[in-house]
Chain A
Amino acid sequence: MSHAAGSPSPGAGAREEPVLRVQGLGKRYGSREALRDVAFAARPGEMVAVIGPNGAGKTTLLSILGGVQAPSTGAVQHTGAIGWVPQQPALYSKLSVAENLRLFARLERVADPQAVVERMLAQTGLADRAEERVDRLSGGNRQRVNVALGLLADPPVILLDEPSSSLDPAQRERLWQFIEELAASGTSVVFSTHIVGEAERYAHRVIVLDGGVLLFDGPPAGLMSESAGGDFEQAVVSFLRTGDTR
């Protein structure tokens, strides 16, 4: 197995220094090892997909990178703030879209909260829904606000934990378009997903986790070449099966 860790993605800030670097990251819950010796890096504008079966450690990895929980071992190096977007929208449902953005902008102590709110409303395409209460928004729009909250401090890296899991195909499409625009503007995006097709379609690099261990770090095409063939999903399944016998 080749570990193409940190291999540059075409057109995704290949020559730039990583904005996020993870080394020897481990997490234990009592006797259970949720993550073991995970290491990778993400560069500006790069979209890195973290995939793996349920219980692989995807959410644990992202929550450690997001500062929600502390690692048991290892180091995380980053150049600035890290935006974190949890799987379930973390919003105040009784506040409007603008009120949520304004509140978190103030809590983030951004220099000009109103300007940031307006920028995020424009970026998410929710300017016309700004005064609508969040509990009246569709799942897709709620997820957009959720992502927008992670971007308020204009972080060089944003972590998205299964951002499209609760969305219908059309909402997914719109969300990924928004995320791709983010990456195109230079933000490094690290996202976890259990829909491997999304990883193949949107990620410049794929990280495969299983049982808390990083099995692969490289471009989607590299994963295809490592496996027996078929489509990307079959390639991932086949890769994980091979991993079981390793």
Chain B
Amino acid sequence: MRWLLRKDLVILGRSRLLVALLVIYPVAIALLIGLAISASPSKPRVAIVDETPPGETITLGGTRVGLDEYTNELFNHVQVVRVPTRAAAVAKVTSGDVLAAIVIPPDIVSKISSGVSQAQAEVIYNGDALKQSFVRSAINSALAQANLALSQQIKSVAVHDLNLLLAGGKIGPLGSQELIGLRQLPATLKTLAARQPQAADRATLTRIAGFADLAANNLGLAADVLTTVSQPIAVHSTLLHGKRTPLDTYAVVVAVSISLMFICVLLAAGGIALEREEHVIARLVRGSPASVPSRAKPATGESTGGKPTRGERRLRRGRPLDKPLISREGLLAEKALLAAGCAFVVAFAMLLGVSAFVSLDLSRIGQWVLALAFGACGFAALGVAIGALAREVRAASLLAFLLSLPLAFLALVPSGSVAGGLYSAIVAVSYVFPYKAALQALDAAVNGASPAIAGSLVHLVLLTLLFGVLARLGLRRAE
């Protein structure tokens, strides 16, 4: 096997394009991922047209809320490009300089202050369906955050005023005026009523004291109601098991696993198909001619007659056949080993390269090696199966590519994003191909994500055996 492996390395070395690709590919992908993750803007670039007069405030029950609370919150969630007019904003969106523009109209303050009409901000965006979807989602999220901040501000003012109404306190400039609270009214009124003669005034005061008591009790609930209305559902996140994978390191895992898959499957499939295309397999795997005891008598003159010769007796006893130059299993293993080795080196180099840009836990490097090695074996087995079945290099490469790409795509479909039945089918398909298992193993190795790496490794071993058997069946005929 080592001579064949050496031969393949020599041939690989002579394919300059392939070698260049194997070297440049991991470097380029590592750089691209690293730069994309480290240099990409975390906030969408948005043009803001603020048409409100500077320093304008919203007046709520005598308290002023600055509109800045709103705009500041909005600006926290986008990369702001200030433009003076709507027309300038439209121009920026059209040119692609910004993803979208938000126009805050001049009447926004009066509408919020009126308390009866809803204020409206305008969002302008452009681009294809994907870009529109992203922009809408990003802007809606930013606006929702800003709205929430403003409503929290308004709620605090309203709750403060309510508390003042209930408990009383100082109002006016420098707290010059003492306001009696609704909760204090019943006791005060009852005291006053007790001092009154038994007459109509006393009865009236007693009734007013009762009303004040009822009003104080009910208004006491209003603060809670306002809190609930301003944010009906507060989100508290609970992760059921495992560790949450950050999006950037997950992107690294996806990129590395896809590279591992493509290099491995294409090299393995191409390698075994090339042996067939060069018509060498028969020469490699042939043994000595096998003999099967014949029921029929020899038809022609070379018969040795009734008594078998020593040689014939030896043949009929089943003389051990000479060993082939390499067994079919050995040939498949050699191709798989070469492909897995190359893909492993490339994928490992990619991970190390990306770790210069993205913070990866290098203490888990042992698990990286395990995940990459087992994943490479699974992909190599799939590759040799494709190569053994396809019979020529072009067909093998095309089949490998056509099979790998959808498999990777399917494995990345999240649950709940498609109909239940379809998702079950996707899970089943992903289960019988190595990509999903390799992705999970690498995610567990790099990020400590669940499920644990051991299960994925066992899964990969089983798939390696399955595709190894298929490859062996595909190589039954040597010619």
Contacts and interface: CB of A to CB of B under 8 A. Distances in A.
Contacts of A22: 302
Instruction: Categorize the interface residue count of chain A.
Output: 35 or more
Contact of A73 (B10, B14, B295, B326): B295
Contact of B478 (A69, A73, A103, A107): A69
B195 interface: no
Chain B binding surface, main DSSP class:
loop
Interface stretch (A33-41, A164-172, A196-204, A230-238): A33-41
A115 interface: no
Interface stretch (A49-57, A84-92, A118-126, A178-186): A84-92
Interface string B284-311: 1011111111111111111110000101
A41 B302 contact: yes
Nearest to B284: A107
Interface string B111-126: 0000000000000000
Interface string B66-110: 000000000000000000000000000000000000000000000
A106 B287 CA distance: 16
B51 interface: no
B294 A23 contact: yes
Contact of B294 (A67, A75, A89): A75
Nearest to B311: A77
Interface in A204-225: 214, 217
A176 interface: no
A23 B279 contact: no
A68 interface: yes
A66 B289 CA distance: 6
Contacts of B15: 94
Interface stretch (B34-42, B314-322, B366-374): B314-322
Contacts of B325: 104, 107-108
Given A21-B311, A39-B303, A40-B302, A68 B286 contact: yes
A22 to B, nearest CB: 7
A206 B295 CA distance: 26
Given A68-B286, A75-B292, A106-B3, A4 B301 contact: yes
A217 B301 contact: yes
A71 B3 contact: no
Contacts of A95: 7, 10-11
Contacts of A107: 3-4, 284, 325-326
Nearest to A81: B322
B283 A84 contact: yes
Contacts of A84: 283, 286
A89 B283 CA distance: 10
A106 B293 CA distance: 34
Interface string B422-439: 000000000000000000
A70 B56 CA distance: 95
A72 B301 contact: no
Q: Give the interface centre of A23, A64, A70, A149 by most chain B CB atoms within 10 Å.
A: A23
Contacts, number: 146
A37 B292 CA distance: 12
B279 A214 contact: no
B392 to A, nearest CB: 13
A108 B312 CA distance: 26
B479 interface: yes
A94 B11 contact: yes
Interface residues of B, number: 45
A104 B324 CA distance: 12
A76 interface: yes
A67 B7 contact: no
Contacts of A6: 300-302
Contacts of B203: none
A114 interface: no
A202 B165 CA distance: 123
A73 B282 contact: no
Interface in A25-47: 25-26, 37-41
A174 interface: no
Contacts of B128: none
Contacts of B178: none
Given A75-B293, A82-B288, A214 B299 contact: yes
A111 to B, nearest CB: 15
A24 B289 contact: no
Contacts of B287: 67
B300 A214 contact: yes
A63 B477 CA distance: 12
Given A64-B289, A77-B311, A99-B10, A92 B300 contact: no
14 contacts: A3-B300, A3-B301, A23-B302, A23-B303, A24-B296, A38-B299, A67-B321, A74-B292, A75-B293, A78-B288, A86-B279, A92-B278, A94-B14, A99-B10
Interface of A: 3-6, 18, 21-26, 37-41, 63-78, 81-82, 84, 86, 88-95, 99, 103-104, 106-108, 149, 214, 217
Q: Please give me the 3 A-B residue pairs with the lowest Cβ-Cβ distance, nearest first.
A: A24-B294, A5-B301, A76-B289
Given A39-B298, A67-B288, 15 more contacts: A4-B301, A23-B302, A24-B294, A24-B297, A24-B298, A26-B296, A41-B302, A71-B289, A72-B292, A77-B291, A103-B3, A106-B3, A107-B3, A214-B300, A217-B300
